Structure 1
Amino acid sequence: MSNDNEERYLSTIKSIQDSYISKSFPEVVPDNLEILSTIRYDPSLTKNAPASSDQIRKSNFFLFEEHVQRTQFTLQYFQLQFYGNTDLAFEFTADNFFNYLVSAFSQSGKSLAEPYKVRCLFHLNSDLVVELHPTPVRENLLDGILTPSLPETDDLPEFAENKTWDVYIDSKPTLISPFTSFKTTTRSHYSDSRARALPGLRPEAEEVILFNPQNNLMEGSITNVAVKRKSDGKWITPQLSSGCLCGVMRHFLLRKNYLEEETISMDQIEIGSEVLLFNAIMGVVKGRIVGRAS
């Protein structure tokens, strides 16, 4: 190999190391890294809505057990990556997690009659911080998958019940990393995709779908996604090997046989295609591919 070719080769290797490996697989814990879990509190999930914090039940938190399992796995993964073991600095169980959530509501003084997005932030070396944010009422969290396809019209209700989201295709691939597979506060790849693709015409009902360097569908910036398989009309969602988030709503829909996993080439995604968007805050809503990022 000539000196010029060797220098170009080494420069390419260093570029890959700096732009991908060091960024996506850091050797030390980034200062701003927190494990993230967002859970829907909803008084309508129990027969009797809680009137005080001592009446809150685990079932008032949508998919509570799935959140616990995913958070445990995520914490252990990053503990192993950065410290070489799975011994967390604090005890994390379903019961103490639930007690944290109830305590957050008790101390906040917020009305328990409204639904909330409960944002839970974990640092590997300390306990969690809980934030409570209002979120819209949803009469049926599964309506997006249970209702028939919607007509192509703008004359639809103003919020999620029977409303189709505008979905755009990103213009650049997203590299697979632990920060796509697990939910953390390292989210620049999602912010960049949203900045490239979303026009802001319907801020509460826009999403961008991401694809990996193999040109396979991954996920949305705030949702997992599914498309209809043309051969039989079955809803299919990308496999975890695509780099998509191991979302709790995704897990629930697969477990209940609403979805199947499959490798989905972006060649299958067309303008006008109907998609499903889902996460554990808004449940399942319908979307339609309306454009591509320039």
Structure 2
Amino acid sequence: MTIRTNTGPAYRLQLVFDAGPTMSMWRPLLRRLRQSLDHDGPFEGATVSVLTADGTVRGRQVEDDRLVTLVLSDCSGPQWYPGPAGERWYETLRSWARVRPVAVVQPLPERMWRRTALPGTPGRVHAPAARSANSGLTFTAYDGTPHAGADSIPVPVLEPSSVWLENWFTLLGTGGTEVPATVAFIPQALPAEETTSPARLTAEELVLRFRATASPEAFRLAGHLAAGVPHLPVMQQVHRSVETTPCPSHLAEVILSGLLRAVPGPPGTYSFREGVASVLLRTVPRSSLSRTVALLRRAEPSARRPLVAAEASRRLR
């Protein structure tokens, strides 16, 4: 991406990469984003920190009166939801937003943000001065919706594109500026943990719920992923075979759908919830399924374990 910036003061950038369980596929984006910001952004230096699933931030912490923070996250890991990890992370995020500019770069397309912990509201945001801390921003929603409360702090949520980033840079560099933005609010305290869970739904209900909201590409991909072991490298291999130009957001739709649950292992290790794979496989034509199974079987000699799901083998008998 090419970013146009107005001349103005140079800042130091703290780029925070969320290393939670759903973020492995976005590591290439981190590299591209840092390269673009180093080359085109209004920054004279940058550090990279890592946000872990337990809500802690690791890496060298720099204190500078010119520091601004960008968090690259799909806002879907456990540290974004009520619980000990969430309390730890939101306390850190609030402490930053009180004293400096902070924004979240969301790799998912805007239509998917409502499924995350930080959906945001579109409107216009006003900064009273250059490099205003988030606590000094004023936000007006397009639909007139009141924000989350007097003690909550607005945080711009950005797509990783030049237009969104340029608007934020304008907000940083010019006092009295108002720009279009999607904004989420950091509450003073997190709500109680949710009692509803995908685990309470049947396999058929989970698949029907996903089909009602998913893109056609994501739903087709989910059926093919059910043919294999749902670990991220295997899922990416199947994705490349199903789509000529695979879009990471389609795979992200499946991972965030509730059809899968994280299991012990390296980041990106999942299993389908009980009965879901069987339901999904019934949505895939037999000829297409056989091609996916053949692909996985060719890859099996280099794998430590079988890559083809037992359900898929049974369906092809």
TM-score, with normalisation over the residues of structure 1? 0.29
Which has a greater percent of helix? 2
Q: Higher relative contact order by CA 8 Å / sep ≥ 6: 1 or 2?
A: 1
